[in-house]
Amino acid sequence: MYDLIIIGAGPAGLSAALYASRAGASVLVLDGGAPGGKLNLTAEIENYPGFIKKGPELAYAMFEHCLSFGAKYEYGHVTSIKVDENQKIVCVDEKEYSTKYVFIATGTKERKMGIPLEEEMTGRGVSYCAVCDGPFFKNKDVCVIGGGNSAIEEATYLSDIANKVHVIVRRDVLRADQYLIDKMNKKENIELHVLKKPHSIEVVDQKVSGLIVEDSLSGELSTIETQGIFPFIGLDPMTDFVKDLGIVDEFGYIYVDNNMESNVKGIFAGGDVIAKSLRQVVTATNDGAIAGQYIASLLK
């Protein structure tokens, strides 16, 4: 039996592993993706105090550091958590692990546009990661969907690779921070399309050839020629495996107290997966540190 099983190896999960294992707890970190979470999909981290690094570089540094006090790491997809009086059973594919405490740090997944051919064209012109797939669109025209921080950051990143970047915004204002908007406005090959929303995808030879957009006011349709579509329209928490425990709100986020504990005793959560106002690397590490230290104190 482990003292603590952490589900998710992003900044929150890794920070919890660091604090708990450093305090003497036996810790297992489980993740179904690359360690570091969304850090691996971020071109550059500019708002983590003391560091300006490429996302994957920070992810690797965190992973090495946070496992340096004896925490173990295993790859696997958690399917459910069984709650017993004296232990928690974490089900991973066909395995089961026993633990005293659980820390959920599974983060979020990208929201889909919900338009025809989106699923079929994923990997054939539709991508949810500019850092991963941007090089495939060198000197081509691409569309970025969304007006928040992620969309504007990715549009700016793509502008250094693509011939032209079309930014499609449903409303007539951008929700992104002014700093990011100013940075984007300096790019001559970015064109902003306000009051437009994706309607459908045009395809030639099984690849994206255009995006049909709908005017948010008139409903009029128009076509933008593009070879790539990058939606950044929001995120949904990855909590399907714990919804039966009654610890999530109407949007799927987990409610926690000041110690990061949910309303099921012994199950904690942190990072992007919890109900809070700011989801950043620095707030995720804060959540993990609080939970890891508190859980370690319970073992003494």
Which residue(s) pair with 72 in the sheet? 28
CA distance 91 to 169: 41
The residue behind tokens 């690094």 is 53
CA distance 98 to 83: 10
Distance CA 153, CA 77 (A): 30
Q: Give the residue from 184, 175, 183, 129 showing the smallest Cα distance to 148.
A: 175
- Catalytic position from the list 3, 91, 129, 240: 129
Residue 129 annotated in active site:
yes
State yes or no: is 143 an active-site residue: no
Give Cα separations from 148 to 96, 161, 167, 169, 179 (angstroms).
Answer: 40, 21, 11, 9, 12
Distance of CA 76 to the CA centre of its chain: 18
Q: Is 66 a catalytic residue?
A: no
Do 97 and 89 touch, CB atoms closer than 8 A?
Answer: yes
Q: Please tell me which residue in 66, 91, 133, 287 is annotated as part of the active site.
A: 133
CA-wise closest residue to 7 among 98, 91, 102: 102
Q: Which of 132, 160, 240, 244 is catalytic?
A: 132
Active centre residues (catalytic): 129, 132-133
